[in-house]
């Protein structure tokens, strides 16, 4: 039960993932199953209503066969055959004839009639003392949901591109591609029931500067489109029907935030150097070519992670080499002489192009993702590597591979780069012969063999989002276990330290480009562990720089030493918070 803050309002708490406060009407998306109303029809409308039902049944059959095919490919025919029971429901003439009888007899819409009959069948099955029959009730409800979705025409994802008026989007879940398509002028903010801080949807929200809250559990079911709401992306709160008192209090918070932003603006052109003269390289993470302006305005020295998959995630065709070259060139020339670190496609996990025929996987984050996908899909990889190499002739380009888990992958990828370099040389196409190539360190196995990897690359970039997920076995998307997703876990700090030491032994540099790098509370810890570069979303760069300029390198080393000898993640976090609050109190006192 959501608690009221002031009388008449309802407050829902989740996980804050993208800062900012917004208010406006909410639009609840994706609630087909709750929108079944009884609509009386005239005699002349009835034949078309029956046709509509038949079309929805055919479409549903088609959908189920498609899912069955994907599951069969991914997991084998036996698993795929579980959908046979679903197909049988659609072929049950007794059920369908009864639905048609209700449409014609009661002169009502197909959704209502179908729901009535299917729900009666399902409840009868569910009440029988027989496990097999009870399972059939589940099948019946599953199929009913699909048929109703098709009748209501809501089988596609939410259309967030064509919103009529500015609103706050509420949905059970949003994929990264849904988020990438959001029209910033119409989406004031968004909130979802599931997700966590390092899900790609959250990362996208920060990149688009859309205030967002995730992990609201089942809040979307308790909200209605059209209600007025306030969304607080600092504290992870959505307030429905905020009272005047609440709006007043938030007005103050927004004013304090503006003051802080003005203060941060002052240091944008200043260097990222600690009080005792230690220089830190601060870069920005980008997802789109259009983000270059945000990078320049943030005071970052170039790009430390270009998530290239987002360039194409919301498109319906594969990018050609030329299209990619143009996109990379645009970023590289705009940021020259700063460097742009282009990461090769990290498709898979929660990010797939809708037009790629990729089988559904049981564990997509452990599946056909990133370098594993690229090494098999050679044409896609070749286009990208050639485009990056060509762009390297236009400025300061670096490149890295995501999800390296072993030496073979790195060797294979490096060999392909050499092959495409030879092609370009032969064609007389210019590229930077000395373009630095690095490996992302985001899988524990990569840390364990970091010395071997380091001999074959010029740098490491630690992807803490995945490193934490894979080391602690905590799904980075799952709000139910978000409390276990602990960046200051002693194991994580030791993995970072081991990576830094291997890099030093082999004379290469190390950056951090996961969300840890954008968290000012953790800046001292990462610097103390010895990383050379921090790369964060552009809106977070000024805060991190502010923090760097308030710290002494000596105290960061002392903090890291304490952390490496400490057994408790929460104790380490408390120490980090103490140092951060002491060093830069103004960064923290204005968060409400």
Binding residues for ligand PEP (CB under 6 A): 203, 305, 307, 346, 442, 463-466, 513-514
**Measured from the CB atom, is 241 or 405 closer to Mg ion?**
405
Percent helix / strand / coil, the chain, rounded to 5: 55, 15, 30
Q: Which one among 466, 515, 519, 590 touches Mg ion, defined by CB under 5 A?
A: 466
Q: Which does 348 bind (CB under 5 to 8 A by kind): ligand PEP, Mg ion, none?
A: none
Q: Which does 479 bind (CB under 5 to 8 A by kind): Mg ion, ligand PEP, none?
A: none
Long-range Cβ contacts of 121-124 (<8 Å, 24+ apart)? 121/95
Query: Pairing between strand 187-192 and 212-214?
Result: parallel
In degrees rounded to 5, what are phi and psi of residue 218? -110, 25
Q: Which stretch binds Mg ion (CB under 5 A): 161-169, 178-186, 303-311, 465-473?
A: 465-473
- The footprint of Mg ion on this chain (CB under 5 A) covers a number of residues equal to 3
Query: Residue 315 has what DSSP assignment?
Result: -
Task: Kindly state the smallest distance separating residue 129's Cβ from ligand PEP, in Å.
Answer: 48
Any contact of residue 304 with Mg ion (CB under 5 A)? no
Q: Which is the catalytic residue, given 86, 115, 200, 489?
A: 200
**Measured from the CB atom, is 173 or 442 closer to Mg ion?**
442
575, 562 Cβ separation under 8 angstroms: yes
163, 27 Cβ separation under 8 angstroms: yes
DSSP calls for 379-402? HHHHHHHHHHHHHGGGSEEEEEES
Count of CB atoms within 10 A of residue 119's CB? 14
275, 550 Cβ separation under 8 angstroms: yes
**Measured from the CB atom, is 144 or 465 closer to ligand PEP?**
465
Helices (H), 23-171: 46-75, 77-80, 84-90, 93-106, 110-127, 131-151
Q: Which stretch binds Mg ion (CB under 5 A): 87-95, 179-187, 466-474, 539-547?
A: 466-474
User: 425-446 burial, b for 16+ CB within 10 Å, e for fewer?
Assistant: eeeeeebbeebbbbbbbbbbeb
- Cα–Cα distance measured from residue 125 to residue 139, given in angstroms and rounded to the nearest whole number: 10
In Å, what is the CA distance from 214 to each residue of 170, 242, 371, 556? 10, 19, 29, 32
Task: Kindly state the smallest distance separating residue 412's Cβ from Mg ion, in Å.
Answer: 19
411, 450 Cβ separation under 8 angstroms: no
**Measured from the CB atom, is 238 or 371 closer to Mg ion?**
371
Task: Kindly state the smallest distance separating residue 563's Cβ from Mg ion, in Å.
Answer: 23
Task: Kindly state the smallest distance separating residue 466's Cβ from ligand PEP, in Å.
Answer: 3
Task: Kindly state the smallest distance separating residue 201's Cβ from ligand PEP, in Å.
Answer: 11
Tell me the CA end-to-end span of the chain in Å, nearest whole number. 23
Query: Residue 310 has what DSSP assignment?
Result: G
Task: Kindly state the smallest distance separating residue 29's Cβ from ligand PEP, in Å.
Answer: 25
**Measured from the CB atom, is 273 or 498 closer to ligand PEP?**
498
Q: Which does 369 bind (CB under 5 to 8 A by kind): Mg ion, ligand PEP, none?
A: none
Q: Which residues pair with 462 in a beta bridge?
A: 441, 512
Task: Kindly state the smallest distance separating residue 200's Cβ from ligand PEP, in Å.
Answer: 6
513 is catalytic: yes
Of residues 328-357, those binding Mg ion (CB under 5 A): none
Q: Which one among 242, 438, 463, 520 touches Mg ion, defined by CB under 5 A?
A: 463
Q: Which does 464 bind (CB under 5 to 8 A by kind): Mg ion, ligand PEP, none?
A: ligand PEP
Q: Which does 307 bind (CB under 5 to 8 A by kind): Mg ion, ligand PEP, none?
A: ligand PEP
Instruction: Determine whether 372 is exposed, middle or buried from the number of CB atoms within 10 Å of its CB (0-12, 13-18, 19+).
Output: middle
Task: Kindly state the smallest distance separating residue 559's Cβ from ligand PEP, in Å.
Answer: 22
Token pair of 150 as six digits? 């098709």
- Cα–Cα distance measured from residue 206 to residue 190, given in angstroms and rounded to the nearest whole number: 11
Q: Which stretch binds Mg ion (CB under 5 A): 68-76, 295-303, 459-467, 474-482?
A: 459-467
**Measured from the CB atom, is 13 or 307 closer to ligand PEP?**
307
**Measured from the CB atom, is 246 or 523 closer to ligand PEP?**
523
* The 3-state secondary structure of 238-307, one letter per residue: EEECCCHHHHHHHHHHHHHHHHHHHHHHCCCCCCCECCCCCECEEEEEECCHHHHHHHHHHCCCCEEEEE
Task: Kindly state the smallest distance separating residue 464's Cβ from Mg ion, in Å.
Answer: 9
**Measured from the CB atom, is 463 or 487 closer to Mg ion?**
463
Side by side, the strands of the sheet bearing 228-232 are 10-13, 237-240, 228-232, 21-29, 167-171, 187-192, 212-214, 15-18
- Cα–Cα distance measured from residue 187 to residue 211, given in angstroms and rounded to the nearest whole number: 9
**Measured from the CB atom, is 100 or 472 closer to ligand PEP?**
472
Of residues 394-453, those binding Mg ion (CB under 5 A): 442
Q: Which is the catalytic residue, given 22, 167, 374, 513?
A: 513
Q: Which stretch binds Mg ion (CB under 5 A): 216-224, 324-332, 446-454, 460-468?
A: 460-468
Chain residues binding Mg ion by CB under 5 A are: 442, 463, 466
Write out the catalytic residue numbers.
Answer: 200, 513
């Amino acid at each position: 039960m959501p608690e009221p803050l002031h009388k008449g309002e309802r407050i829902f708490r989740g996980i804050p993932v993208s800062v900012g406060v917004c208010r406006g009407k909410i639009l609840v998306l994706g609630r087909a199953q709750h929108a079944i109303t009884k609509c009386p029809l005239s005699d002349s409308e009835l034949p078309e209503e029956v046709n509509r039902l038949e079309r929805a049944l055919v479409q549903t059959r088609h959908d189920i066969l498609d899912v069955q095919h994907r599951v069969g490919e991914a997991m084998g025919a036996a698993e795929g055959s579980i959908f046979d029971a679903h197909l049988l429901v659609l072929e049950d003439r007794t059920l369908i004839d009864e639905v048609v009888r209700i449409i014609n007899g009661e002169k009502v819409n197909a959704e209502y009639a179908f729901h009535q009959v299917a729900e009666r069948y399902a409840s009868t099955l569910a009440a029988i003392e027989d496990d097999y029959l009870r399972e059939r009730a589940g099948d019946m409800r599953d199929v009913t949901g699909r048929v109703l979705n098709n009748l209501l025409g809501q089988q596609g994802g939410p259309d967030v591109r064509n919103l009529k008026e500015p609103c706050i989007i509420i949905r059970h879940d949003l994929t990264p591609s849904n988020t990438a398509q959001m029209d910033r002028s119409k989406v004031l903010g968004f909130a979802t029931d599931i997700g966590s801080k390092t899900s790609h949807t959250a990362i996208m929200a920060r990149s688009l500067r859309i205030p967002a809250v995730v992990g609201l559990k089942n809040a979307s079911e308790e909200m209605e489109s059209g209600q007025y709401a306030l969304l607080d992306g600092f504290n992870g709160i959505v307030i429905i029907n905020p009272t005047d008192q609440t709006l007043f209090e938030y007005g103050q918070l927004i004013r304090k935030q503006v003051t802080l932003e003005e203060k941060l603006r002052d240091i944008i052109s200043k260097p990222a150097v600690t009080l005792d003269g230690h220089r830190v390289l601060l870069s920005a993470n980008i997802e789109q070519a259009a983000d270059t302006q945000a990078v320049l305005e943030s005071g970052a020295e170039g790009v430390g992670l270009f998530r290239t998959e987002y360039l194409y995630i919301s498109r319906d065709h594969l990018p050609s080499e030329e299209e990619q070259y143009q996109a990379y060139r645009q970023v590289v020339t705009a940021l020259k002489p700063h460097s742009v670190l282009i990461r090769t496609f990290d498709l898979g996990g929660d990010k797939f192009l809708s037009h790629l025929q990729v089988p559904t996987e049981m564990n997509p984050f452990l599946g056909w993702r990133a370098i594993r996908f690229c090494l098999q899909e050679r044409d896609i990889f070749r286009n990208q590597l050639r485009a990056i190499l060509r762009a390297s002739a236009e400025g300061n380009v670096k490149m890295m591979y995501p999800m390296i888990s072993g030496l073979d992958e790195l060797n294979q990828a490096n060999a392909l780069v050499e092959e495409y370099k030879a092609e370009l040389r032969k064609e007389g196409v210019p590229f930077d012969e000395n373009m630095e190539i690095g490996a992302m360190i985001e899988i524990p196995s990569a840390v364990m063999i970091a010395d071997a990897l380091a001999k074959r690359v010029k740098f490491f970039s630690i992807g803490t989002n995945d490193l934490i997920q894979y080391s602690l076995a905590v799904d980075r998307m799952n709000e139910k276990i978000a409390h276990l997703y602990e960046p200051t876990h002693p194991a994580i700090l030791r993995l970072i330290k081991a990576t830094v030491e291997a890099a030093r032994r082999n004379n290469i540099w190390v950056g951090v480009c996961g969300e840890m790098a954008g968290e000012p509370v953790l800046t001292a810890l990462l610097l103390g562990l010895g990383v050379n570069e921090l790369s964060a979303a552009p809106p977070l760069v000024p805060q991190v720089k502010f923090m760097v300029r308030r710290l002494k390198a000596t105290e960061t080393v002392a903090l890291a030493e304490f952390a490496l000898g400490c057994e408790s993640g929460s104790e380490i976090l408390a120490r980090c918070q103490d140092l951060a609050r002491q060093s830069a109190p103004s960064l923290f006192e204005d968060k409400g």
